[in-house]
Amino acid sequence: AYFSLLEATCCRSGKAVIIQAMNRYTADESELSRFRKQINTVLHLDLDGVLRPDSLEESDSYLFAVADDFDAKLLPSIIKRRTFELDETLNFAMNLIGTIGEAHAAQLVFKDLNPGMILYNPDTRQTRLISVGMATDDGESGLPLSDSDFVKTALPYVAPEITGRFHRVSGYYSDYYSFGAILFYLLTQRPPFIESNPIKLVNSILVQTPKPPSKINPTIPHPISDIILKLLSKRPEDRYQ
């Protein structure tokens, strides 16, 4: 995320909360505008799978939104320690695809779904997205390939058509690609393609065939591996519809 995510305790209620905050002095106006737009979009939509703050607040130094904590951690911090077992992966997949379906029903396409957007509670197996990603972007500015955080956290999970170098517009099928890339990550502890250079990474997304997950982690059943590879198809029409 391009904003800070903090855990705190509410002084008035004593409840644990999650704060999404952006520093006015370090963010430029376009970033502040994007943050406002994202939070306001979440506030006006009823999406169970997206973290919903009570309101968007502003102070002299920060824009911030406060939501109830559900004792969750960002997905990458969990995957650093372990891969998911198959049953946990399938449960996670059902929750995430349910959120994706909710968003699509509301005419919202995330475009850059990635593990860094996902909060997960391993005990309850609850998932929540911390933002709606690039869904509120106008799409005219292109991908921020000069942003090292974006290249590291989001770019490995975007569909070929999101790169701007594939002659197709983005759509619901773009989120299905990202969904497949996230499942790949859950079961193998790595994205489908690993490149530190963003141009080479984009090229891999466009033309390279990912290694079957079952080749990386032999405990993955071949049918599950095949489902993930179909979600990662280059052409949108070759993915699940």
Inter-residue contact 71 to 17 (CB < 8 Å): no
User: What is the per-residue pLDDT for 1?
Assistant: 45
Residue 38 has a pLDDT of 86
Give strand pairing partners of 62. 23
Per-residue pLDDT, 135: 78
pLDDT at res. 50: 92
Beta strand 62-68 with 56-58 is antiparallel
Q: How far apart, in Å, are the Cα atoms of 9 and each of 49, 69, 191?
A: 22, 9, 34
CA dist 14 to 17, 52, 180, 227, Å?
A: 9, 19, 39, 45
Q: 57: which strand partners?
A: 64
pLDDT at res. 77? 93
- Report the distance separating Cα 191 and Cα 145, nearest Å: 17
Q: Measured between alpha carbons, how far is 78 from 83 in angstroms, rounded to an integer?
A: 8
In sequence order, the 6+-apart residues with CB closer than 8 A to the CB of 10 are 16, 17, 66
In the chain, the percentage of residues whose pLDDT exceeds 70 is: 94
Q: Which residues of the chain have pLDDT under 50?
A: 1, 140
pLDDT digits (tens, 9 = 90+) for 209-226: 999 999 999 999 999 999
Tell me the C-alpha to C-alpha distance, in Å, between residue 119 and each of 73, 161, 174: 5, 26, 21
The per-residue pLDDT for range 86-135, each reduced to its tens digit, is 899 999 999 999 999 999 999 999 988 999 999 999 999 999 999 887 77
